């Protein structure tokens, strides 16, 4: 019994000595907190995201980066998104003992135990991730140094698009399709129209019958005047032939062989017209004509005549105008006539020119073709004055005067061809030399027509 007790005490003492020996003792240490990146980024502005620090290669992601936007998916899932600088942090192992973080900068992505496969990246392989809009715009390119393109210039426009004009206010530059007309003016066509008119008044064998055939050819040209292409100067050279038949019973000895007037007289004149626009409400209508009117058997100073008219126009509205002025005829019987009246358009299809001495009422007919047709009724103080070959020196200039009313059709085609056809009556007809040498002529019907392009 004694031996057994001594043996037990010896074993216990030996064990205490072994545990107390420093050589064989073991110290257990617990892991400290992970080192963190002390460089804290500034708070991002609204609508912007952080830019990763490319200098960090092996440090774990700090809490400030956990909400960074790495693409359309929002915050990067833990363990699946790349660390700043392109390095990927391996997820720590939370098993027994000290955690392990791998060695160096891992090249692959690690997953947290128990969370399955990593989420796919928000961008295609081989492309850089999108970190949102930059905080400040980059440098802008210049065009030819200091010259910048216009604000409306589109560098991505389709090739062949017509560029804008260099001088938008140049009246010689037409407006291209699709381009605004602001600042552009429409060019006026130089040749406005070429016109041919004809009137036939039949004669007869009774006393006072007088037949007339009038043929008039003219051309109108537009010339820019006073830097306003909207109101050009209209120049019209013209030539007319008047064929006379009669008159029957003419008394004054005009011709040495018979008592008739010459079979033909002529008009050769140049007319200039201008319609100035002083304001949206006040404008004018002006015209002046100079020409030679004779039978060309003998041209004297009276053969050259001057005619014209001048009217002031006040526009109360787009459909109502007031005109007033004078007409200068330069005839032996009448030199000057007052002129004017009202122009009223109650609608686009009706027009009333209540004017003296040439009134006209017109109504547009329904369109059954590509032409515009107008039915009209007009009045005119017609006639003219010419110098004739003479036997009696006192007989130099003779007037033909009448009053006409006509009913007609006026048309205008889409191709620019216009014309008219009318039938009417002429009365108060006379051949006039002076108050003592005057012959009244019979009333007659007449027909007329004209074409212009």
pLDDT digits (tens, 9 = 90+) for 336-354: 999 999 999 999 999 999 9
Q: Is the pLDDT of residue 4 over 50?
A: no
pLDDT at residue 240, as a whole number: 97
Quick one: CA torsion of 244, 246, 247, 251, rounded to 10 degrees? 120
pLDDT at residue 126, as a whole number: 57
pLDDT at residue 52, as a whole number: 46
The contacts of residue 322 (CB under 8 Å, 6+ apart) are 313, 314, 316, 340, 342
Q: Is the pLDDT of residue 88 over 70?
A: no
Residue 286 lies in a domain: yes
Distances (CA, A) of 260 to 49, 215, 237: 109, 21, 30
Please state the rounded mean pLDDT for residues 242-257: 68
pLDDT at residue 249, as a whole number: 65
pLDDT at residue 11, as a whole number: 52
Going by pLDDT thresholds of 50, 70 and 90, the confidence category of residue 14 is: low
Please state the rounded mean pLDDT for residues 439-450: 94
Residue 309 lies in a domain: yes
pLDDT at residue 330, as a whole number: 93
pLDDT at residue 187, as a whole number: 63
Assign residue 198 the CATH number of its domain: 2.40.128
Residues 217 and 339 in one domain: yes
Please state the rounded mean pLDDT for residues 311-319: 94
Q: What is the distance between the alpha carbons of residues 332 and 289, in angstroms, rounded to a whole number? A: 17
Residues 71 and 219 in one domain: no
* Tokens encoding 313: 């126009």
Residue 36 lies in a domain: no
Residues 72 and 216 in one domain: no
Residue 96 lies in a domain: no
pLDDT at residue 124, as a whole number: 57
Residue 216 lies in a domain: yes
Range of lowest pLDDT (8-12, 46-50, 176-180, 329-333)? 176-180
pLDDT at residue 115, as a whole number: 53
Residue 170 lies in a domain: no
Going by pLDDT thresholds of 50, 70 and 90, the confidence category of residue 59 is: very low
Number of domains in the chain: 2
Q: What is the distance between the alpha carbons of residues 437 and 254, in angstroms, rounded to a whole number? A: 11
Please state the rounded mean pLDDT for residues 402-415: 93
Q: What is the distance between the alpha carbons of residues 448 and 199, in angstroms, rounded to a whole number? A: 4
pLDDT digits over 141-191, tens only? 544 555 566 666 666 666 555 554 444 444 443 433 334 444 444 567 888
Residues 340 and 201 in one domain: yes
Q: Is the pLDDT of residue 379 over 70?
A: yes
Please state the rounded mean pLDDT for residues 228-248: 89
Is the distance from CB of 448 to CB of 215 less than 8 angstroms?
A: no
Residue indicated by tokens 């205490």: 16
Residue 182 lies in a domain: no
Range of lowest pLDDT (50-64, 219-233, 305-319, 379-393)? 50-64
Q: In DSSP terms, which residues pair with 79 in a beta bridge?
A: none
Residues 246 and 394 in one domain: yes
| Residue with more model confidence, 398 or 100 | 398
Q: In angstroms, how far apart are the furthest CA atoms of the chain?
A: 197
Q: Is the pLDDT of residue 242 over 80?
A: yes
Mean pLDDT score of the chain: 72
Please state the rounded mean pLDDT for residues 71-95: 44
Residues 61 and 209 in one domain: no
Is the distance from CB of 219 to CB of 194 less than 8 angstroms?
A: yes
Going by pLDDT thresholds of 50, 70 and 90, the confidence category of residue 262 is: confident
Backbone torsions φ then ψ of 20, nearest 5 degrees:
-85, -10
Which of 89, 112, 145 terminates a domain? The answer is: 89
Which of 89, 117, 151 terminates a domain? The answer is: 89
pLDDT digits over 191-226, tens only? 889 999 999 999 888 888 899 999 999 999 999 888
Give me the domain span that covers residue 361. Answer: 191-452
Q: Is the pLDDT of residue 382 over 60?
A: yes
Q: Is the pLDDT of residue 324 over 90?
A: yes
Q: Report which listed range, 64-73, 130-139, 425-434, is most confident.
A: 425-434
Residue 16 lies in a domain: no
Task: Count the Cβ atoms, other than its own, within 10 Å of residue 191.
Answer: 10
pLDDT at residue 219, as a whole number: 96
Backbone torsions φ then ψ of 3, nearest 5 degrees:
-65, -35
């Amino acid at each position: 019994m004694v031996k057994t007790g001594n043996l037990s005490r010896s074993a216990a003492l030996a064990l205490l000595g072994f545990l107390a020996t420093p050589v064989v003792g073991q110290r257990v240490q617990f892991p400290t907190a992970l080192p963190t990146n002390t460089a804290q980024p500034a708070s991002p502005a609204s609508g912007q995201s952080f830019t990763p620090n490319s200098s960090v290669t092996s440090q774990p992601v700090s809490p400030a980066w956990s909400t960074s936007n790495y693409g359309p998916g929002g915050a990067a899932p833990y363990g699946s998104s790349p660390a700043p600088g392109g390095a990927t942090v391996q997820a720590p192992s939370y098993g027994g003992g000290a955690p392990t973080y791998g060695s160096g900068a891992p090249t692959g992505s690690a997953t947290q135990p128990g969370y399955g496969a990593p989420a796919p990246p928000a961008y295609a392989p081989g492309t850089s991730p999108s970190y949102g809009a930059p905080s400040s715009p980059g440098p802008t390119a210049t065009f030819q140094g200091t010259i910048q393109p216009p604000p409306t210039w589109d560098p991505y426009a389709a090739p062949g698009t017509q560029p804008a004009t260099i001088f938008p206010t140049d009246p010689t530059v037409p407006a291209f399709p699709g381009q605004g007309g602001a600042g552009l003016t429409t060019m006026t066509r130089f040749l406005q129209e070429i016109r041919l008119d004809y009137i036939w008044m039949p004669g007869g064998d009774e006393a006072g019958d007088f037949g007339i055939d009038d043929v008039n050819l003219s051309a109108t040209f537009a010339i820019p005047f006073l830097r306003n292409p909207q109101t050009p100067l209209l120049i019209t050279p013209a030539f007319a032939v008047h064929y006379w038949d009669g008159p029957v019973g003419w008394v004054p000895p005009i011709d040495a062989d018979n008592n008739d007037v010459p079979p033909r007289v002529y008009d050769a004149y140049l007319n200039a017209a201008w319609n100035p626009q002083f304001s949206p409400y006040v404008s004018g209508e002006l015209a002046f004509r100079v020409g030679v009117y004779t039978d060309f058997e003998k041209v004297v100073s009276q053969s050259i005549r001057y005619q014209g008219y001048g009217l002031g126009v006040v526009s109360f509205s787009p459909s109502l105008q007031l005109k007033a002025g004078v007409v200068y005829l330069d005839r032996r019987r009448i030199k000057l006539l007052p002129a004017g009246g009202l122009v009223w358009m109650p609608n686009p299809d009706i027009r009333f020119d209540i004017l003296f001495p040439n009134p006209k009422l017109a109504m547009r007919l329904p369109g059954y073709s590509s032409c515009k047709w107008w039915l009209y009724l007009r009045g005119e103080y017609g006639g003219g004055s010419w110098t004739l070959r003479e036997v009696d020196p006192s007989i130099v200039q003779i007037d033909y005067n009448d009053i006409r009313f006509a009913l007609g059709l006026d048309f205008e085609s889409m191709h620019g061809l216009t014309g008219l056809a009318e039938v009417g009556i002429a009365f108060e007809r006379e051949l006039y030399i002076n108050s003592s040498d005057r012959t009244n002529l019979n009333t007659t019907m007449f027909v007329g027509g004209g074409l212009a392009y």
